């Protein structure tokens, strides 16, 4: 797949000054005169650019010089989904010269609830192509580079090297650790955000300050935090956090004196509260500490994932259906929350939320096979191992693929998954 979707930038080409943007440098448009004592003019801005970016030009903190810096900048957006949508659109509108989009996935109908850069007509298309087309439609002066692949330890350093700033709009822990490590090793700002149900957070990890590993030294236990596909997310929430990311990227490029570097912004959209937490560099951090040990990208899937299921730990949905059809009655425990179970009931199952499973152990029948079900299969595998460690004497199985796979095996077209 080609890394460059379009090469027809109508505005100035992006500079090669990767890593030249640092929070705390002098505001780009704050100078009243240049080094020769004359007022900077509109040189380098075409008539179309002057018209399109006129509201930026009126801001003393931006002005012509700041706009030229935006037009010279190259920004990589990791993930063309809920967070990546507003980031890409607002950076394009702001006139960022080169916008890179990296995402391996295709647009699905369920994405449209929050991924506003995509359209119904784009379902089934590559996300980077759909998003790239929207960016070019919004601002033809922007160069769009698309990378339809998964960012990993084998390609990340090379891809990130071509950009000045990285916006981490990914939706999983391996990608966040990868982006954080590669940005720090490359000396590039990492503009981070994440969302979960009604809550989100954002921060800037700049060279010299705390990094992502300072915030999360170790990944959470797999299965403890359900994914967006399991837990859901308020559609507007990625728009709020993605807009914060876009603002921080613009500020970094302009040299704003204060960004979210060293601060974590947390958002609760249900209560509509915004809180700020100070972040400090951890002297013992393996990436940015006093004696760093991380000097290259690692295997982040291995770093973050739980041990793969071994034979005898899982049951396929097809096998479960066959056993039920033959009259067998394994004890089925649905670990999803009550509202999830209402959306897609599993007949004959016992509903026990994940958090209450240990308390429900006396109700589990050791004489029958125990089959645990969650949304996608990760929580149930984690729970099965917890039960065995807690001393459950019977056979414990996790339903592979969870309720989503069970719905597919039953031919359930109304499944919310």
pLDDT tens column, 162-195: 999 999 999 989 999 999 999 999 999 999 999 9
Residue 269 vs residue 219, higher pLDDT: 269
Active site residues: 228, 374
Closest Cα to residue 97, out of 127, 59, 70? 70
**Interval 137-150 mean pLDDT:** 97
How high is the pLDDT of residue 75?
98
Q: How far apart are CA 189 and CA 92, in angstroms?
A: 19
Worst-scoring range by mean pLDDT, 3-12, 27-36, 401-410?
Answer: 3-12
Tell me if the domain spanning 314-410 has CATH number 3.40.250.10.
yes
How high is the pLDDT of residue 15?
33
**Interval 21-31 mean pLDDT:** 40
**The dihedral sign for the CA sequence 59, 60, 65, 71:** negative
**Per-residue pLDDT for 3 more than 70?**
no
How high is the pLDDT of residue 55?
97
Fold category of 47-304 in CATH: Rossmann fold (3.40.50)
Tell me what percent of the residues of the chain surpass a pLDDT of 90: 66
Worst-scoring range by mean pLDDT, 71-80, 111-120, 303-312?
Answer: 303-312
How high is the pLDDT of residue 42?
80
Contacts of 7 (CB under 8 A, 6+ apart): 143
pLDDT, the chain, mean: 86
Q: Where in the chain is the domain with CATH 3.40.250.10?
A: 314-410
**Interval 370-384 mean pLDDT:** 88
Give the global pTM.
Answer: 0.74
Structure tokens at 128: 């980077």
Give yes or no for a contact between 72 and 16, defined as CB atoms under 8 angstroms apart: no
User: pLDDT tens across 89-123, in order?
Assistant: 999 999 999 999 999 999 999 999 999 999 999 99
How high is the pLDDT of residue 224?
59
Q: Where in the chain is the domain with CATH 3.40.50.720?
A: 47-304
Angle CA 262–268–270, to nearest 5: 170
């Amino acid at each position: 797949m080609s890394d460059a979707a379009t090469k027809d930038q109508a505005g100035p080409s992006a500079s090669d000054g990767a890593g030249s943007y640092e929070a705390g440098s002098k505001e780009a448009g704050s100078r009243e005169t240049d080094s020769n004592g004359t007022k900077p003019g509109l040189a380098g801005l075409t008539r179309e650019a002057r018209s399109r970016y006129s509201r930026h030009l009126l801001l003393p903190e931006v002005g012509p010089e700041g706009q030229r810096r935006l037009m010279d900048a190259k920004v990589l957006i990791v993930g063309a989904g809920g967070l990546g949508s507003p980031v890409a659109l607002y950076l394009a509108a702001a006139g960022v010269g080169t916008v890179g989009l990296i995402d391996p996935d295709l647009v699905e109908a369920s994405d449209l609830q929050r991924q506003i850069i995509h359209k119904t007509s784009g379902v089934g298309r590559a996300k980077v192509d759909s998003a790239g087309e929207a960016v070019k439609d919004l601002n033809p002066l922007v160069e769009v580079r698309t990378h339809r692949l998964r960012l990993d330890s084998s390609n990340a350093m090379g891809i990130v090297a071509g950009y000045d700033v990285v916006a981490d709009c990914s939706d999983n822990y391996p990608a966040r650790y990868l982006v954080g490590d590669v940005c720090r090793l490359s000396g590039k700002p990492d503009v981070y955000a994440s969302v979960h149900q009604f809550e989100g957070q954002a921060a800037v990890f700049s060279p010299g300050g705390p990094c992502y590993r300072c915030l999360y030294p170790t990944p959470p236990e797999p299965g403890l935090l359900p994914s967006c596909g399991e837990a859901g997310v308020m559609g507007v929430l990625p728009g709020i956090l993605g807009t914060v990311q876009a603002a921080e990227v613009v500020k970094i490029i302009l040299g704003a004196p204060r960004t979210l570097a060293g601060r974590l912004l947390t958002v609760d959209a249900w209560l509509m509260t915004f809180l700020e937490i100070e972040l400090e560099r951890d002297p013992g951090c393996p990436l940015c500490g006093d004696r760093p040990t991380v000097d290259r990208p690692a295997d982040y899937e291995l770093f973050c994932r739980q041990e793969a299921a071994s034979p005898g730990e899982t049951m396929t949905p097809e096998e479960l259906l066959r056993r039920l059809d033959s009259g067998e009655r394994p004890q089925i425990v649905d670990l999803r929350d009550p509202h999830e179970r209402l959306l897609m009931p599993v007949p004959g199952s016992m509903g026990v939320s994940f958090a209450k499973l240990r308390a429900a152990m006396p109700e589990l029948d050791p004489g029958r096979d125990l089959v645990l079900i969650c949304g996608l299969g990760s929580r149930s595998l984690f729970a099965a191992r917890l039960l065995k460690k807690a001393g459950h004497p019977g056979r414990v199985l996790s339903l592979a693929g969870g309720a989503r796979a069970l719905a597919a095996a039953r031919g359930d077209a109304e499944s919310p998954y």
